A and B are shown apart, each in its own frame.
Chain A
Amino acid sequence: MKQDNVMTTPFVSQYDNLKQALPGYSQPWMTTLRDRAMESFTQAGLPTQRRESWKYTNLRGLQQLELTERALEPQPISIDRAPSLLPEGTAHRVVFVNGGFRPDLSDLAGLPEGVIVGSVADLAEREPQRVEALLAAHSDVEDQPLVALNTAFMRDGLLLELEAGRKLDRVLEVIHVNSAENGVFAHNARNLISLGAGSEATILEHHTGLNGTAYYINAANDMTLAEDATLRHYRIQAEGTNAVHTSTMNGHLSGNSFYDGYTLSIGAALSRNETNMKLTAAGARCHLNGGYLMRDKQHCDTTTVVDHLSPQTSCREVFKGVLDDRSRGVFQGRIVVHPEAQQTDGHQLNKVLLLTDTAEINAKPELEIYADDVKCSHGCSAGEVDHDALFYLRSRGLSETSAKALLIQAFLAESVSEIGKEELQDLFLEKISDWLAI
């Protein structure tokens, strides 16, 4: 493939200068890992549209950020309060500001025994073997240039580890606040999550950013669920309107484990949420749901790949999108049923409302099936707000704007109702109402 030099700067040129300052430099295995990742990133470069999995998303927008040589260095800013979404005392809280862990804003009091919540940077120095083990669990990841980039430069992120049988009763709220008030920056956040057999946790993760400032967040999440573990993972991506946000989640699900995910994307100029789930043993279930609300010239890419590697595994996906102004949405969903994975259930639904003639949706729902005893389906639709429903509401005295907003809210509510932790549904509906300004 033709090399596109533009697509590796400033990352490649800065690596040698920076690597000594990166966390875990004292650990030879870490440096080897980073070096190898850098090598693979240098070869591949940032993904271009020549790659089938990036057909509809162009990362050239990154160039507009004008990342300088200093962009990859830490940029602390002063902030005295974390914008929490949950009432004080009802949740454990971890706060990252411009990618760096802020213990002073976090609240980790009363964590149950056998539950480790901390900063990857911190633990890479204090308990390197723990970080090494968690990173090694996903070393099979290949051909993901953004994850390679992340591995080379990762500084900090959430580390969550639950021992077998432990339950985290309160929600773990993970807050990422970003602001480039001191100059453009790029941050590679790495979150490592491992749930022991039969353990259970709920994460509410939200990313907020200061509008108008430009920065690049490249997040990578490694998630491992042992037998019978349950992870509920709900996310709100509300980065600043000029930001670029790419996130890659790689998950391994063991027998009878359950992953329930929901991602609401409303922020960033350009965002991509990629989720790769491997269902490796019987009974593994995975729900990937989400909503994307875009306006102006925002671009949002939702990509999911679910690999059914073992018999009796199931997945379910419901994604809803609303696209206004000149925004663009991309949905790529792939369900792969490997030859051994008999009795697989896979269902996927993607529905999109286009509010203007300048908005655009590109969808590619794929089924790749190598086993015969399966039930798989996907559905995809795109269209505008139902005129009859609109007329009905208007004839009952609602203004056009509020009638439309009501219909859009109802449209999105279908995906929100998929959130397994019901008490959090209202929070997401509220975010949607805010976006609709009703």
Chain B
Amino acid sequence: MAATVETVDQVRALADDKYKYGFVTDIEADTAPKGLDESTVRFISAKKEEPEWLLEWRLKAYRQWLTMPEPEWAKVDFPAIDYQDAYYFSAPKTTEAPKSLDEVDPELLRTYEKLGIPLREQEMLAGVAVDAVFDSVSVATTFRHKLAEKGVIFCSISEAIKDYPDLVKKYLGSVVPYGDNKHACLNSAVFTDGSFVYIPKGVRCPMELSTYFRINAANTGQFERTLIIADEGSYVSYLEGCTAPMRDENQLHAAVVELIVLDDAEIKYSTVQNWYPGDENGVGGIYNFVTKRGACRGKNSKISWTQVETGSAVTWKYPSCILQGDNSVGEFYSIAITNNMQQADTGTKMIHLGKNTTSRIIAKGISAGKSQSTYRGLVRMGAKAKGARNYTQCDSLLIGDKCGAHTVPYIESRNSSAQIEHEATTSKISEDQLFYCRQRGIGEEDAVALVVNGFCREVLQQLPMEFAVEAQKLVGISLEGSVG
């Protein structure tokens, strides 16, 4: 495992505290051969003992993927991806699924401890059920029983395919079709694991559901597939947090998240993304190409996306809401922080189809160093969206004169009774505010973190408590070295 040793050395060489999640766990991976062709897709499907229809679906996606051009409209610039130079499947070497935490590889458990999520303690203290995704296969799921009492299904998508094939078949790809875009298409062909949540009618999920994603084995792109279904009158809050080891090669991550919300139900989806952003010179870092979309199918349904994006070298991500049901609500709260050479092109789409649908977009972008951050969004009022409303606010903060902040909103209205309001501002961090803080003895970096935290407050407030604390710290850490 030369690569691992190298990476570990590298991490040591770099300042350890700068990226405390940068380490690689030594677990022998059972990988598929390098590269991507039909046999890779068949290998993954066979390895996961999938039914025939899913293999067919994957193959269809793969064939379409071959014909699709790379999306080039985003304001991000990176070398072309060599899809043949990556592994598409790596599973931790456990032959049978563990029945309890004791059976989980101790090496893995130690990894989680470093990440600050000791599973066992969490079971008692945090009240958070974690479907831990380590590389591609989920290895431990807690609180299964407690959730099962309420009828909530929370498992890996591989298990769901085996245990609840009808639900999966009905909803998989119904919000993000396999041919939606190049990255989603690739995900459909080679997704290895992810989470599946089903909240039955009228159930309010008793705890926040959470998945920790880890990218581990070198050169393995990670293709997560998440499917969450909230049946009539149900509610769930889902947390997704990401960290990744420090390494020098760009890693591709193309996830797909699909949310389905029926009558009177609500899904709250929160993300903290803190993957390795590359070093000061833009070497290394994760490519984060994510397709997230939710469909408010039912009346009075609601989807709320909250994201704090601080990591990744390149972010390409547009969590969207399709507001089909009358009176449905879509929300998007976002903080995107870029520093050094990071590039982020992120935003949302709010597609209003039903009557009296409302949406709210609050996007805060902070650029520092030589980074570029773009808000790109679409608000569309369909001809039948009577009485629909949208409010959008995008604010950008610039720190330093080498970075860029861009706003590209698309606003389309085909209904006179629909009301759209859009506001965007761009300005630099206020000298007066910094001076005020400095005068009171607050260090420059802390002062910047304080001002930026204030700037993001509206979004940070939307996060569940556990995340809010972590996110506030992240905001400060991400901007280290941006002033002075």
Contact = CB atoms under 8 A, between A and B. Distances in A.
Binding partners A and B: yes
B428 interface: yes
Nearest to B378: A364
Contacts of A410: none
Interface stretch (A223-231, A351-359, A428-436): A351-359
A362 B400 contact: no
A342 interface: yes
Main secondary structure of the interface of B (DSSP, over half): strand
Main secondary structure of the interface of A (DSSP, over half): strand
A364 B407 CA distance: 10
A367 B406 contact: yes
Given A339-B401, A379-B423, A366 B413 contact: no
Interface in A349-389: 352, 354-384
B410 interface: yes
A380 B411 contact: yes
Contacts of A342: 401
A247 to B, nearest CB: 24
B416 interface: yes
Given A377-B426, A382-B419, A354 B413 contact: yes
Contacts of A381: 419-422
Interface residues of B, number: 36
Contact of B418 (A365, A374, A382): A382
A212 B409 CA distance: 37
Contacts of A113: none
Interface string B386-420: 10000000001011111111111111111111111
Contact of B420 (A375, A376, A380): A380
B413 A372 contact: no
Contacts of B428: 372-374
A369 B396 contact: yes
A352 B416 CA distance: 10
Nearest to A349: B423
A239 B386 CA distance: 34
A375 B423 CA distance: 14
A358 B382 CA distance: 10
A374 B427 contact: yes
B424 interface: yes
B128 to A, nearest CB: 39
Contacts of A339: 401-402
Contacts of B423: 377-380
B423 to A, nearest CB: 5
Nearest to A368: B406
A142 interface: no
Given A372-B401, A374-B426, A381-B422, A366 B416 contact: no
Nearest to A330: B412
B95 interface: no
Interface string B419-451: 111111111100000000000000000000000
Nearest to A340: B401
A52 interface: yes
A382 B401 contact: no
A184 to B, nearest CB: 32
A369 B413 contact: no
Contacts of B401: 339, 342, 371-373
A360 B403 CA distance: 36
A377 B424 contact: yes
Nearest to A363: B411
Nearest to A344: B426
Contacts of A360: 412-414
B78 interface: no
Given A342-B401, A361-B411, A365-B409, A354 B416 contact: yes
Contacts of B405: 367, 369
Contacts of B413: 352, 354, 360-362, 382
Contacts of A379: 421-424
Contacts of A374: 398, 426-428
Contacts of A378: 407, 422-424
A367 B395 CA distance: 11
Contacts of A361: 411-413
B175 interface: no
B8 interface: no
B408 to A, nearest CB: 5
Contacts of B416: 354-357, 359, 383-384
Nearest to B392: A380
A22 B426 CA distance: 48
Contacts of B399: 372
A367 B407 contact: yes
B426 A357 contact: no
Contacts of B410: 362-364
Contacts of A357: 383, 386, 414-417
A190 B381 CA distance: 39
B73 interface: yes
B411 A382 contact: yes
Nearest to A332: B410
B408 A354 contact: no
A372 B400 contact: yes
A57 to B, nearest CB: 13
Contacts of A375: 425-427
Nearest to B429: A372
Given A377-B424, A379-B423, A381-B420, A370 B409 contact: no
B415 A362 contact: no
Nearest first, the 9 closest Cβ-Cβ pairs linking A and B are: A354-B416, A372-B398, A383-B419, A363-B411, A380-B422, A367-B407, A372-B428, A384-B416, A377-B425
15 contacts: A52-B73, A354-B413, A354-B415, A357-B383, A357-B417, A358-B414, A359-B416, A362-B411, A366-B407, A367-B405, A369-B404, A381-B419, A381-B420, A382-B418, A383-B420
Given A361-B412, A377-B425, 7 more contacts: A357-B417, A360-B412, A362-B410, A368-B404, A379-B423, A380-B422, A383-B418
